[in-house]
Structures are given as C-alpha cells and as structure tokens.
Chains A and B, each alone.
Chain A
Amino acid sequence: MEIISTKKGSGESLHVTIHFDRMRQDLAERRRKGDDIAKADYTGEVEQAEISAHYTHVFLKRVRGEARAILAGAEPARPNAKARSLYGLRTESVRHILADQSLPSWTEFDEYSRTLLSVGLNVPVPYHSEWLPRRESQRLRDLVAEVADLNFSVEYDGTEIRKPIVLFPRDKSAGEACFIRRFTYKGTHVAARGYFYAQHGTIKPEELQGSLIRIRHAAVGSYDSSFLDFPTSEGSLIQRWISAEIWADDRLEDAMNIDRRTLRVAHPAYVELQRAVHAELRAVISEARKQLYETHNVERRKTRAADAISYMRQVVRRDVAPTNASVAAVLDRTLRVAEARPETSQLSRRLTVAEFYEIVVEVARETLPPRAFGDFIKRLTERLNE
C-alpha cells in the first residue's frame, strides 16, 4: 500500500509505502521483543508538494487473487454467463437499471458491479434523484438533504456512485401501492431515526428487503432481511414488501463487532433498538395489510369481474345473438348493469371445472326437456374431456 498525503499551506507531502508483504513471511522472522509480531513495515520520505494541494491518495498495490479480477473490470462471474454490468455507466443509466422491477437480485450483475453497489450502499454518498415515487420522496426530503449535505462523493471508474436504493412498486401508477412511515426513537441506550418503505409485492432486488442500520452514515453490513430477528411467522409475506433504513446514534457503535458488519445482540443499545424496530415493524405490517394487501385485493376482484363481464358480452354477441336476438338483448342488458358495478358482481370468482360443471348441469335440468338435457350433458361432458 502506498499513501501520499499533503495539506493546504504545506510545501511538503508525506510519501509512505507500507509493506504488507511481511505478513506472508514466516512468523519467526516477524517476531519482535516480547510477544510482539510485526504485521508490516513501512518506508517513507517527505517530498515537495504544491502549497495549494490538499489530498490523501491511498494506492492498493499488488492486489492478488479474486480481488484483482473484481477491481480490474467487468467480467461475467461464470464463463459464458451473460451477467449484466454497471461498468462505465452514467448515474442516470445506473438508476434506470436499478429501477427495473424485473431485476430479482444483484446476483444478476457481475462481481465488479456488485462491488460497486456494495460500496454505494455502505458509504455516505447521495441518493439517486428519483429513488422513490414522488409523494414518498417528499416525505424523506430532510433525510435526503442531510446525506447530500455531507458532500461526500465517490467516483468509480468514471461513474459517480449513488446509494443503490431505488424503490418503486411494481404497479407503475404507484402512489397508492406503497407508503412511507417515518421512524423515530429516543431510548436510554440509543436513539435512532429513519423510515420504513412498504409496497404491494416483494421488494426487488432482494438485497433491499429488510432493514439497514447506519451509524455515522456508514452502513453496518448490508440489509438484514430478518429485521433484527423479527419473528418470521408474523406477517411473513408482508415482511418481504418492506425496506427500511435506520440511522442510529453513536452509542450503537459500542455494539458493533470488529468486522463492522454485525452487532452484538446482547448489547443494551442493540436490544433497545431491536425492540423499537420490532414495534415499528408490527405497525408497518398492520398498515400494509390494510392499505396495500386488502385494498389491492378489492381492486383486483373488481378488475377481474369487469374483465369477465366484458368477455361474456362478447360471447353473447357472437354466439347467442345469431340464434336468438331477443334473448341476446336481454342478456346484454343484464351484463351492462353488472359491468357498471363490478364490485358487487360475483363474476370475479374463480371456479374449478367441476364446480362450473355442477352449475351447468343444474341449470340444464331446470330448463331442458329430458331428451335435450341428456344430449346436452353428453355433448358437454365429451367436450370437457377433449
């Protein structure tokens, strides 16, 4: 690793090379006084710099193994696999791809792109300009502005990285098919705030399902689809419809494990936050069930009934009218009335063939003479068996 650092007003820069290759030396060679083991060594010098320059450049050198391939460029994870790539794309193009609801998971991307997305998720870069439906993004204006005010930017091979969080319900009319619920908590051991986004249908890509905790704007690992071990039996379907970001205060940092990706579950700050998140999640699930699940079911039934009525009117015009125009007219009138109020219609019901067969047999018996009834049933049964 090589580090070059200078600050404004100084005519000097520090140039240090850290020799991590020492780590690969035999332990005996690295043993120092007492129990100390050398993990690296460094060499360095002070060089001239422009007075106005102010930077620290860190160079990773001799990157080895898979990391090298990941950083070098975009290649499919498997030979002949056609992995999608975000390499070399403008921010807007990246947003467009991430908004694609047919994208089930980031695993559709190559390693390079997944690394880029993970970096974007973890560091305090701004959100995309349209990352939520308009109404929902209005509700998070302050959080978005706060992140933007950090003025932290990352350029990755020419692409300006944004948070890879783009949430739109599958129904493009949006607005009604999703909601945002703000979350605020002030406890004894921790304080936190954030949002819960819920939509009708599974969040895609799946990497955005669950909750993401941030401390000082840096993510702790990735989205946790278990919502800090929320019971899977409670609203299991709706849990997959929810994506949450939670900014915890510094006190949660004590609960962080050394890998900085996980939290100690027994730490008081974690326990307190977990309880608050679970309470909020229960409320979100309940709201989602009412606002999204049930409302959506009614809407779906209406649409299905309207479709069925429309099709039946076509059948009447095509098959009944040529034989008996007056009956066709009566039927059409009846169906038109039903079409005007599909929500009260029973025509959205789904019937099995056997159930429908039973209805037809019953009507035929009531209306047809025995001989015609026999012929009709015979023909109908044969037809259904074809």
Chain B
Amino acid sequence: MTRNVDAAMDEERPEKARVRTLWLEKLLAYKERYPDDAVPLYLTLSGAYGQDIKLLIKHGLIRVTEVGAITAQDQGVAVAIESNANAVLELQRRIPGLKILQQPFESLIRSTRLTVFPQGDQIRLCQARVVNLDLNEAVKFEDVDGELQFPPLQWIKKLCILHGEVRLEWCLLLTLHGEALWESAETKAVAEFLNENFMLEPNFASASEKVLGNKLHSRIVDGTIPAAKRLDTAEQQKLLMLYVPKRIARIAHEYGWRTETVHNLRYGGASRRAPMVTWVIDFRWDARVSRQPDAIYRDSLKRILVGAGYIAEDGTLS
C-alpha cells in the first residue's frame, strides 16, 4: 500500500525539487572536496522512491551499470534507511544495488539514550559526510524530568558524538513539518531558550527580528507569546526556523562542532500543501572546544539566519 510519505516524496512539488537541488549542491561539494572517503558520502531516509539518490545518479555522483544498478565500486556511496519492508522492495527495484538498512533510524542510532551507540560497521555509516533526516513529523516535545526533548534532536546529538570520533566535517540535511502545535508551557520554554541569546548576541537578535517580524519578536522578548498552536502557519514555521538550528548549534558546540546554517528555509502552508521547514547545516570541527566552547556557540548563532528564506510554490527561492 502506498504510504502518504512516499506519495508526497514521489510527487514532484517544485518546492521539494528546489530543496533537492540544494541537497545536490552540498553533496557535489563534499564529493569534490573528499573524493576518496572511507565513510559513505550520503546516509538518507529516502523513502520508497529514492528520488534524492536518483538525483545523485543523474549527476554522476553514483555510477550505474547498463541495467541501472549501482556499480560495485559505488555501492557504498549512498546508504538508505527504510523500516517498511514493502518500501525496501520498491527501493531495491528502482535502484538495484543500493545499500539499504531495513530498520528505523532510531534503531540504527540505538535509541535516544546516550548510553548505547551503534556498533561495528554501523558506526561508519553514521559517520557519513552528509546525513539527510527528511522526516515526516512535526516538532513534538517529550517532557523528560522537565526537559523538553524531541527525539530527532537527540539523534543529532549522537551523530555529533559519532562524527567527533573521526572529526571529519559533515553536513546535516534536516526537514520537518512546519507546524509548532505547542501548548503555552512548551512555547514559553522555547521563547526563553531563544531569548537567552538575544541580549548576548545583538546580530542574532536583529536577524531574528527580521525573520520573525517585529511583533512576534517583541512577544518573545517580553514573554507574552501565546501558545504556538495559536500562531498562524507562517509564524509557526518562522519560530521553528529560529528554534531548531539554535538547539542544534547548542548541542553541537558541546562536542566541538561549529555549525554553519547554509540554508534555513520554509515552504508550503498554502494551497492545501503541508507547511515544511528545512535546513542545510555544515558541522565544522573547532578545536576551541576545550578552551572557549561558548565562542563556538556564539559563532554558530551568527550564521543561523544567514541563509533564511522562503521557497514559493513555483520553487523560486527568496
């Protein structure tokens, strides 16, 4: 049975096509910079149709044989993760020779717990140069002893730790639903987290104001923001554009990674299209982690909104 997520992925929405070209640019750049890597170039939740991997094939990043199967030499370039058996079969049919792990990403990364980690060859797979978490879910928090946890952010924390072992710069492609259906308490916690750095980093504050708009920005600053679920769709997307990369920057700097948010984009939300948010974030190893970790974090904050923008229905980027 065709899953909604696969149908959505297969549908060639211009916005999604634009996002894929951004992914491709990043993959081409990494392949050019590191042609002989021991780690995979690309780890992806590609869905049953593998549109992103087909793009890699089309642009020569992965070579194929005369029947369209991935050549033996390029079989480790991309690795797909797919838990649904029928989707795995479809993916194998469409892209023979593709390495597919039939399991959920959470199983590969061994849960959100920081006491268990992937073993053996799975470590190398998690150290891929480009990791694409194209998730069909919204940011929903779990309250763990008062701490707001969102499992994908825990996965990213574990990816930071795993990449930290080899200190190879890497890139995260993250896509989430652009809905922030949070209650007041959760929204307040998010606002406090954002507000923390508005005072210390004026550049970040002004860039935030520009993205959020004066009104929403002020309500975050003075603590009068309503429950996020009451905000309109665009405002919810903008809130996520600020919150998610900031949380990632916060997580990453603890493990020596300075983040460079290359793209921070929202799309959809109109014409009955689901609102989405997507990021392209580079992780660069920064030796200041043992001396000035806060400096790393502040540098990361400066770049969070540099690539902020919007993808229109026709795929144009602004």
Query: What is A's interface to B at a CB cutoff of 8 Å?
Result: 2, 4, 13, 15, 47-50, 53, 57, 59, 61, 72-75, 85, 87-90, 93, 155, 157-159
Contact = CB atoms under 8 A, between A and B. Distances in A.
A73 B96 CA distance: 10
Contacts of B203: none
Contact of A88 (B1, B66, B89, B99): B66
A159 B67 contact: yes
A74 B72 contact: yes
A59 B88 contact: yes
A88 B88 contact: no
A63 to B, nearest CB: 11
A73 B75 contact: yes
A157 to B, nearest CB: 4
A4 B96 contact: no
13 contacts: A15-B85, A57-B85, A59-B85, A59-B88, A59-B89, A72-B99, A75-B72, A87-B65, A88-B64, A88-B67, A88-B70, A89-B67, A158-B67
A73 B65 CA distance: 13
Contact of B66 (A49, A50, A73, A89): A89
A155 B86 CA distance: 16
Given A57-B89, A157-B96, A73 B72 contact: yes
Contacts of A57: 85-86, 89
Contacts of A72: 75, 99
Nearest to B97: A157
Contact of A158 (B65, B72, B99): B65
Given A49-B1, A158-B97, A89 B85 contact: no
B154 interface: no
B111 interface: no
Contact of A90 (B67, B70, B93, B96): B67
B121 to A, nearest CB: 11
B96 A158 contact: yes
B97 A88 contact: yes
A4 B72 contact: no
Given A4-B86, A57-B85, A50 B67 contact: no
Contacts of B86: 4, 57
A48 B85 contact: no
Nearest to A87: B72
Give the interface SS of chain B, mostly helix, strand, loop or mixed.
loop
Interface in B85-101: 85-86, 88-89, 93, 96-97, 99
Contacts of B96: 88, 157-158
Contact of B69 (A4, A49, A59, A159): A159
Interface centre among B1, B2, B68, B75 (most CB of A within 10 A): B1
B71 interface: yes
A148 B58 CA distance: 35
B62 to A, nearest CB: 12
Contacts of B195: none
B149 interface: no
Contacts of B88: 59
Contacts of A87: 65, 69, 72, 97
B197 interface: no
Interface string B190-228: 000000000000000000000000000000000000000
A88 B85 contact: no
A193 to B, nearest CB: 34
A207 B57 CA distance: 37
A2 B97 CA distance: 20
The 4 closest A-B pairs by CB, nearest first: A88-B65, A158-B96, A158-B67, A88-B69
A364 B72 CA distance: 70
A157 B69 CA distance: 7
A50 B7 CA distance: 14
A72 B85 CA distance: 17
Which has the most chain A C-beta neighbours within 10 Å: B2, B66, B102?
Answer: B66
Contacts of B2: 50
Given A85-B72, A89-B65, A4 B85 contact: yes
A4 B89 CA distance: 11
A90 B66 CA distance: 6
B155 to A, nearest CB: 23
A85 B64 CA distance: 14
A41 B69 CA distance: 35
Nearest to B93: A155
A337 B96 CA distance: 65
A15 to B, nearest CB: 8
Interface centre among A2, A155, A158 (most CB of B within 10 A): A158
A63 B91 CA distance: 19
A90 B69 CA distance: 10
Contacts of B72: 73-75, 85, 87-88
A276 to B, nearest CB: 41
A61 B88 CA distance: 12
